[in-house]
Amino acid sequence: MAGPDRWHRWLLEVRFGGDAAAREKDLAEFLYPVRDAVLDRARLEPGQTLLDVGTGDGLIAFGALERLGPSGRVIFSDISQDLLDHCRAAASAEGLLDRCRFVLAPADQLTAVPDASVDAVTTRSVLIYVKDKARAMREFFRVLRPGGRASLFEPVNVLMSDPGPGLFHGYDVTPVKALAARVQALYVSIQPPGADPMVDFDDRDLVRHAQDAGFSEISLELRVSVKNRKDPVPWERFLRMSGNPLQPTFQEALQQALSTQEAGELARHLRPLVESGTGLERTALAYLTAVKG
């Protein structure tokens, strides 16, 4: 019997290297604040219906249920049946199933959701996996009622994707840069810059897609952060992690790109940097809100 799909595995395990404590820390310090910011911008009112596109583990959707009150409803939409099943089980355990609907669909093909049937649409790191972002934005516009709001959170990786000379994942690998370049080439082959949906857009594109879709009011807040330090990560957990569901874990990348001896040489240099947090952390995050007139 096949195990959970890549989206389920990454979101609930690989993202944190299988470390439950690391997951709780990320929830408290990053994910819960993102959830609250997205929902604040959605301006939900009791009794309304929200469509959470790319719901994943339901972080936004379950937060919305708390705000919408007992008569409010949430549509959980995702391309992963395993994640929808996970959310359904969680909703059942909380006695919330009668307020939930589950839709298996990509963000740019929400045909199961009728026109003008929801009051709000939310995303969290969803459009970064969608090639036709313009079509997805048109779908968000279509399903919203007049006066409805889209509240989207998306990393803008293209603004921070150039690591600079001698850097690998933000760590200085100058002494072993040839080995690091071969591992990086593996990542690039899977998600080519300029072609892969994760790195083929910037904040201006998000605004343009929303405007072209027909939204009458649009605002975007871009948060850029550059820090000369990273969070320390235990090496064994770092080996089990990957940057997104489409990438191999670092351990798998080493095995695919390098010989055992070469992987050991790169690891000996990289490990103390990873475990001490000696590196450069760069992020660019966009919050977009759009109102359907």
Q: How far apart are CA 247 and CA 276, in angstroms?
A: 24
In this structure, what is the dihedral angle of CA atoms 201, 205, 210, 213, given to the nearest 10 degrees?
Answer: -90
> Does the residue 1 lie in any domain?
no
Say if 65 falls within a structural domain: yes
| pTM of the entire predicted model | 0.94
DSSP structure class, residue 249: P
Which residues does the chain have with pLDDT short of 50? none
Which CATH number belongs to the domain containing residue 111 in this structure? 3.40.50.150
Measure the CA–CA gap between 122 and 11, rounded to whole angstroms: 18
Count of structural domains, the chain:
1
Contact 254, 267 (CB under 8 A): yes
Tell me which residue has tokens 């890549």: 6
Asked if the structure places residue 81 within a domain, the reply is yes
Closest CA to 270 of 243, 242, 233: 233
pLDDT digits (tens, 9 = 90+) for 4-15: 899 999 999 999
Asked if residue 155 belongs to a domain, the reply is yes
Short-list 106, 47, 51, CA closest to 78: 106
What pLDDT shows up at residue 191? 93
pLDDT at 2: 62
Burial class (CB in 10 A: 0-12, 13-18, 19+), 1: exposed
The whole-angstrom separation of Cα 234 and Cα 280 is 17
User: Would you state the pLDDT for residue 163?
Assistant: 66
